[in-house]
Amino acid sequence: MAEAGLIGAPPAQLHLAVTIWKKGGLLHRVHQDKYAADQFNPGWAGNARFSPIQDAQGHPIPTLYGGASFACAAMETVFHDVPFAAGLKTFDKAKLAGQLHSQLRLQGDLLLADLSSKALRHLGIERKQLIDTEKDQYPFTRPWAAAIHAQRRDLQGLCWTSRQDDEAKAVMLFGDRIAPGQLQAAAPSRNLDSDAQAYGELLDLAALIGVLIVPGRQGKDAG
């Protein structure tokens, strides 16, 4: 049995609500430049809230994270680990190297598991147990994503109110449920550290959360 406030194993029957991300909608994604705009993470490694996960046969499920806005996508990736602390915080600009912002246009409706606060009541768990957890709880939240994938073969991913940007929705899509061409690049991908407009938007977001982006020493000899 899970400790008070912590999430236990998912039950054999999940009481899920669903939501639809409509055709024509825009999905913002921040990702490494080794992936194309619409290319899924193969699911072999990582340490995210809902991935990596495996299907019922033990095969890795490709996944793709995104958000309803650039700010949401950036907060869920670039600034994900910025502490909730008052005052000025610094961020190493070198961490932006190889990071792209892509925009994907949906060519069809996406049917997603609704993990918003109201829907979580139907599921029988609290937001603090599934969405508002720290990284040390990810080994316990990932089985819920795997269970949703296994129990509802019609669902193409998950949708929740972003923990990092509560003004926007975040999604994680199951790559084995997304048809080729269903996500199409709506604009050229932008390098976060070299595209002037993208970097400017990132600076505005950084100022909002009290972060100063500074030239750092990542990848340099610290000796």
197-217 average pLDDT score: 94
pLDDT in tens, 105-137: 999 999 999 999 999 999 999 999 999 999 999
Q: 79-88, 104-113, 139-148, 205-214 — which is least confidently predicted?
A: 79-88
Statement: residue 219 has pLDDT above 50: no
pLDDT bucket at 1, cuts 50 / 70 / 90: very low
For 63, the token pair is 């996944």
154-167 average pLDDT score: 97
Residue 16, CA atoms < 13 Å, CB-side half-sphere: 27
Q: Looking at residue 217, what is its pLDDT?
A: 64
Kindly list the distances between the CA atom of residue 43 and the CA atoms of 36, 48, 173, 176, in Å, as whole numbers in the listed order. 15, 11, 12, 11
pLDDT in tens, 56-79: 999 999 999 999 999 999 999 999
Statement: residue 166 has pLDDT above 70: yes
Kindly list the distances between the CA atom of residue 181 and the CA atoms of 80, 101, 107, in Å, as whole numbers in the listed order. 29, 19, 7
Q: Looking at residue 223, what is its pLDDT?
A: 28
Q: What is the third-level CATH fold of 17-214?
A: Diphtheria Toxin; domain 1 (3.90.175)
Q: Looking at residue 55, what is its pLDDT?
A: 96
Please report, as a single letter, which amino acid is at residue 20.
I
For 174, the token pair is 């199951």
The domain segmentation of the chain, as residue ranges, is: 17-214
Statement: residue 222 has pLDDT above 50: no
pLDDT bucket at 85, cuts 50 / 70 / 90: confident
pLDDT averaged over every residue in the chain: 94
186-212 average pLDDT score: 97
Statement: residue 144 has pLDDT above 80: yes
Collapsing DSSP to helix, strand or coil, 169 comes out as: strand
